[in-house]
Amino acid sequence: MTKINDIFRSMATNILNQTTRERIEDEVCRSLATVESYSSVWIGSFDADTKNAKIEIRESAKIGSEDSIRPSKKTTETVSSSLENKEVQVVNNGQKELALVPILSEEIPYGVLAIRSEGGIDNEELEMLEELGTLVGFRINAVEMRESLLSGRSIRLKFQVSDSRLFSIAISQRSESQVSIESMLPRSDGTFLQILRIDGVPERELREVADEHSPQLEQLEKLFVDEESGNRWAVITSTPCIAAPISEFGGKLKSATAENGVGEVITELPPEADVAELMERLESEYTGVQITAKRDESRQMPANGGAGQNETTGVGTSTARSQLFDRLTTRQREVLETAYLSGFFEMPRRKSSVEVAEMLGISQPTFSEHIRDIENELFSTILEE
């Protein structure tokens, strides 16, 4: 088990250094091939058209003979089931076991990592493989998003939603104030955290609306009141936020506001995104959804490969920030964003590590470990050549 741990740690570092999906998958297969008890490893891709697994064994991913790793019809069906349920599944075949690990990033399925073991796979290994699937999904997502940005092409979509079941819309309707959604994040227990900026609304009125949205709205907490930063509130709901379906289509939320009972959402999607399907999904989940603007954007990238400069400071912005964030996992980004918006990094701190951890639904030691890892990655990026 010690050797497996060492292989996993080394592989995790190497994955973060790869710049294409093919190289990421190759690195995973090559590294796992060095585990003595693993007789074969392959990766099945996700077919976006059929919403099923598509088993394609690339030459670079082969270990052993093709016959030993060619999936059976039953295995292919189990792969699809693993993707659909978004959980690790184990198939027993005599003395051999096949672990099927979904490769996911923010609920976006990229495929399944399959490992056949001669001596069985214990629970500790399965947990490590599940974490590996998440890491691989995160890295593939980061690489593809980066390629999309560097291509200079994207789809900018603006739409309205007037579903008063959404807390931000209900508040804006009741108070005639503008509500800005600064962050929407999934929590470890399956609920969702939103950080809202709400100005000019009495706390009593906010809590009345929160009570009306119970039990879906589980918690409303004041973060801080600031003349410059505005009044920030943390909201925890048991229902998915509107950012969830957008992220599944590879989109990034640019802004989300609500005023007079109408929400306006601006998102940036990769050029290959199916906008019609996304809107159909949103319309099935929320009322009053309507596209107000859609345009294909093509940005002229600088000759230096995209390293834009700030007009005032001359410091590289988009590329420098991308390099920093590329080294962070999705969860680390979420922790960093929540800590920042909660005032954790201010002096004195507006929220303690215990309070931020509670908002995220994790323990304080786990939060502190995330912060240390984030600091290590960011400082390494700054200081390393």
Evaluate whether 2-151 and 306-385 have a shared fold. no
- Reading the chain (385 residues) residue by residue, the pLDDT tens digits are 657 778 887 887 788 778 788 889 888 988 888 888 888 888 877 655 555 555 554 433 444 444 444 555 555 556 666 666 677 888 876 667 888 888 887 667 788 888 888 877 888 888 888 888 888 888 887 787 767 666 667 899 999 999 999 999 999 998 878 899 988 887 767 788 899 999 888 889 999 999 999 888 999 988 877 666 568 899 998 877 888 788 778 788 889 999 999 999 999 888 888 899 999 999 999 999 999 999 887 765 444 444 443 333 333 345 556 666 667 777 788 889 889 988 899 888 889 999 999 988 888 999 999 999 888 888 877 776 5
Every domain of the chain and the residues it spans: 2-151, 153-299, 306-385
Pairing verdict, β 89-93 and 230-237: unpaired
Hey, what CATH class is 306-385 in? mainly alpha
118: β partners: none
Structure-block tokens of residue 253? 């939320």
Structure-block tokens of residue 285? 């989940």
Dihedral sign for Cα atoms in the order 280, 281, 287, 292? negative
- Determine if the peptide bond prior to 109 is cis (ω within 30°): no
**Closest of 349, 354, 378 to residue 367, by C-alpha:** 354
Q: What is the largest CA-CA distance in the chain?
A: 69
Question: Exposed, middle or buried: residue 155 (CB in 10 Å: 0-12, 13-18, 19+)?
Answer: buried
Q: What is the pTM assigned to this prediction?
A: 0.59
Three-state DSSP state, 95: coil
Residue 116 region by backbone torsions, left for phi larger than 0, else alpha for psi between -120 and 50, else beta: beta
116/125 Cα distance (integer angstroms): 13
CATH of 2-151, one of 3.30.1330.30, 3.40.50.1100, 3.30.450.40, 3.40.50.1460: 3.30.450.40
Please work out, in degrees rounded to the nearest 5, the angle formed at the alpha carbon of residue 259 by the alpha carbons of 274 and 229.
100
